Amino acid sequence: MPEATVPFKIFRYKQGQNAGHYDTFDVPIDEDTTVLVALQTIRRDQDSTLMLRHSCHHASCGTCAMLVNGREELPCVVNVLDLRSSPVVVEPLRNIPLVSDLVVDMTDFYARVNPADRPYVRHSEFLPWAQTPDGIDSYSRFENCIECGACVSACPISGTDPDYYGPAALAAAWRVVEEPRGRQPQQALNWVDNEKGCWRCHVAFECTEVCPSGVDPGGKIMALRGELSKQKLRGLFGFGRR
Ligand code: SF4
Ligand code: SF4
């Protein structure tokens, strides 16, 4: 039984239109209805032209990321009643090219996070030469990244500088440094050591705030800076390696 009807104000845009607009739909919900299910209900019962992306329905795939009331969220795990707002405003991710309605084009994002010449997504099977860090408590795997794009959407630098590599790609680079597993850490460090890379970040950590998977991309960017700074000091003053 529906417990309530909640208005949803949804960003709409189709290819060829000059600008987007918002449509409002009243959606019956119950105590278990998530924002994603509400959007699917709209698509099924009210407007089949509403475009959105989703897959797993349980925060594992990152496919459905979008703005809910102005914040980057995975709508599959946002309960509508928990929002306590009316209307619920739903918009596509920022800083990623818009395709239609709530759908953005992730092509460039995926290419930056896992470039063909520096593959960061690795098989997780044990490799004999794998380096495992001391102390599992101080270690978070980049493989936690579900490539949702929320960090790039929240990053003000990604919003103003399309050449900035962005928090997800930089966090992926740190994973190669942190745990090389046969990759070349210096290659990753060289890639980020410029004004499109880790030095462009302005250290406000919006990316870390919105990451649904605990990757802490802002912290990883600081780790890249720390490692590069150590290398530069060693070069200047001839410090020995730690
Ligand atoms: S900390 Fe850096 S990467 Fe993260 S949102 Fe801020 S500017 Fe972007
Ligand atoms: S770092 Fe976090 S917010 Fe960014 S793409 Fe990966 S999971 Fe999403």
The fold of the 107-237 domain, in CATH, is Fumarate Reductase Iron-sulfur Protein; Chain B, domain 2 (1.10.1060)
Q: Digits of tens for pLDDT over the chain (242 positions)?
A: 667 999 999 999 999 999 999 999 999 999 999 999 999 999 999 999 999 999 999 999 999 999 999 999 999 999 999 998 899 999 999 999 999 999 999 999 999 888 776 656 555 545 556 566 665 444 444 568 999 999 999 999 999 999 999 999 999 999 889 888 777 889 999 999 999 999 999 999 999 999 999 999 999 999 999 999 999 988 887 765 54
**Equal fold, 4-104 vs 107-237:** no
> Which of 62, 57, 60, 6 minimizes the C-alpha distance to 30?
6
Which ligand is in closest contact with the Cα of 174?
Answer: 2
What's the length of the chain?
242
CA distances from 65 to 104, 138, 201, 227 (A): 10, 28, 22, 32
Residue 161 Cα to ligand 1 midpoint, Å, equals 12
205 CA closest ligand 1 atom index: 1
How far apart, in whole angstroms, are the C-alpha atoms of residue 211 and residue 72? 8
CATH 3.10.20.30 for the 4-104 domain, yes or no: yes
Q: Where are the domains of the chain?
A: 4-104, 107-237
SS3 125: coil
How far apart, in whole angstroms, are the C-alpha atoms of residue 69 and residue 241? 48
How far apart, in whole angstroms, are the C-alpha atoms of residue 179 and residue 195? 24
Residue 212 Cα to ligand 2 midpoint, Å, equals 7
Tell me the pLDDT tens digit for each residue of 207-240: 999 999 999 999 999 999 999 999 998 888 776 5
Which ligand is in closest contact with the Cα of 73?
Answer: 2
Q: What is the pTM of this model?
A: 0.88
Measured at the alpha carbon of residue 61, what is the angle toward residues 5 and 118, in degrees to the nearest 5?
145
Determine whether the shortest distance from the Cβ of 201 to ligand 1 is under 6 A: yes
Tell me the pLDDT tens digit for each residue of 155-177: 999 999 999 999 999 999 998 89
* Number of neighbours of residue 175 by Cβ within 10 angstroms: 24
